[in-house]
Amino acid sequence: MFYNLIYPLHESYSFLNVFRYITFRTIYAIVTALLMSFLIGPKVTEILRGLQVGQMIRADGPESHQHKSGTPTMGGLLILIAILVSTLLWADMTNGYIWLVLFATTGFGLIGFWDDYLKCVRKDPKGLLARYKFGLQITIALITALGLYSSSAYSTVLSVPFFKDIQPDLGILYIPFAILVIVGASNAVNLTDGLDGLAIGPIMVTAVAYMIVAYVTGHSNFSDYLLIPNIKGAGELAVFCGAILGASLGFLWFNTYPATIFMGDIGSLPLGGALGTVAVITKHELLLALVGGIFVVEALSVIFQVASFKSRGKRVFLMAPIHHHFELKGWKEPKIVVRFWIIAIILGLVGLSTLKLR
Ligand code: 57M
């Protein structure tokens, strides 16, 4: 909004020219979202506590989680507000990609809100039934994919990390592929969100990586130099990723061990959905599996565990998702979380190196 309202004044006041730069606006999107989460965090926690929106802890979970009962959840509301306000302030509001990603984020946020509301306010442990939740996620992702597909500048060619010569064109199949990326990312983040600070760390790493990816794909000189697709207007998504980074950092202040608030599905579903959407728009869909490798491993651990349990009646892990396996092995929660962050940072760096190694 500042770009649209303030930048046009640069002809009279040349210093306002700075509002043109994506880098400048990204930095301030980070700062704005961070300050917003800091400022409204205590209030949101207090309101949620007052409304008794407390977490119910499953009795069959790790023993170390039982004392977390009643921790206010739905802190994702704080993250969502900070991301939306900061993006609306600092991004170019005439950019279609920004509206598309805001649509996906809000849509997944509403699904998460509904699920949390049923679980925490109505005290229905099942929450939103899986088939409705999944159906709604697919609907939001389908609308997002169709929105992209219908734009004339859009390409259905995939770029494969490390291999610049392999560029399969998926054609119309790109739509189910994009849905898979967006819905998969949303659910994988949700599964990861089971220890204090566990999900938000890799979210920040992924947001930083895609902030850089969005910037270079939107910049014709950089994209030509790096031999990556040049997507006009995608650079503006760096501002959005900056808002995710700032909001997440602010949330971590409250969610770090011992957490005073959990994000709930209202946080995990939109954060995953947003990053999946950014990956699709910037044509770096497969890279998300590498940069967000922690989310992939968490989701795979559940798939293997359930498949093994159903087919052979035996578990692969002591408990899935995999962070519970380490808890049951006796690792302390902060140790698991920080080690997962370290792996996430390494994967983020390797992922970014693929921009050059191709
Ligand atoms: C979300 N939610 C946490 C919190 C958070 C198919 C199956 C593997 C699904 C999976 C599942 O339900 N995953 C979805 C995981 C929950 O956190 C809430 O949920 C939100 C995210 N959606 O924001 O509101 C619990 O996680 C802990 N937590 C923290 N700190 C945080 O910052 O400590 C969360 C955030 C919280 C809190 O204890 O209550 C969750 O784990 O439920 N199901 C599971 O993960 C269950 N696994 C399982 O059943 N495994 C079996 C299967 C696969 C065969 C097995 O391995 O044998 C576990 N979850 C729980 N207890 N709670 C196991 C038992």
Q: Which of 57, 121, 262 to mutate to test the pocket of ligand 1 (most atoms within 8 A of CB)?
A: 262
Whole-model pTM: value is 0.96
Closest of 302, 78, 351, 99 to residue 190, by C-alpha:
302
Picking from 242, 260, 271, the residue whose alpha carbon sits closest to that of residue 34 is 242
- Spatial separation of the C-alpha atoms in residues 98 and 36, rounded to whole Å: 20
Per-residue pLDDT tens over the stretch 114-127: 999 999 888 888 89
Residue of the nearest CA to atom 59 in ligand 1? 61
54 bridge partner residues: 72
Q: Which amino acid is at 147?
A: G
Q: Give residues with Cβ within 8 angstroms of 169, minimum separation 6.
A: 156, 157, 158
**Pocket mutation for ligand 1, best pick of 193, 266, 269, 328 (most atoms within 8 Å of C-beta):** 193
Which residue's alpha carbon is nearest to atom 48 within ligand 1? 320
**Atom 64 in ligand 1: residue holding the nearest Cα:** 61
Q: Is the pLDDT of residue 39 over 90?
A: yes
Nearest residue (by CA) to ligand 1, atom 10, is 191
CA–centroid distance, 193 to ligand 1, in Å, is 7
Interval between CA 277 and ligand 1 midpoint (Å): 24
* pLDDT higher than 90, residue 52: no
User: Cα(263)–Cα(240) distance, rounded to whole angstroms?
Assistant: 19
b/e map 267-279, b = 16+ CB within 10 Å? bbbbbbbbbbbbb
Mean pLDDT of the chain: 94
Name the band, by pLDDT with cuts 50, 70 and 90, for residue 53.
confident
**What residue type is assigned to position 111 of the chain?**
I
- Residue 160's beta-bridge partner residues? 163
pLDDT tens-digit readout, 249-295? 999 999 999 999 999 999 999 999 999 999 999 999 999 999 999 99
What are the pLDDT digits (tens) for 213-240?
A: 999 999 999 999 998 989 999 999 999 9
* DSSP string across 183-220: HHHHHHHHHH--STTTTHHHHHHHHHHHHHHHHHHT-H
8-state DSSP, 284: -
Ligand 1 atom nearest to CA at 57 = 39
Gap from CA of 320 to ligand 1 centroid (Å): 9
Which residues line ligand 1 at a C-beta cut-off of 6 Å?
A: 55, 57-58, 60-61, 65, 68, 73, 190-191, 193-196, 255, 259, 262-265, 268, 302, 305-306, 309, 315, 319-321, 324
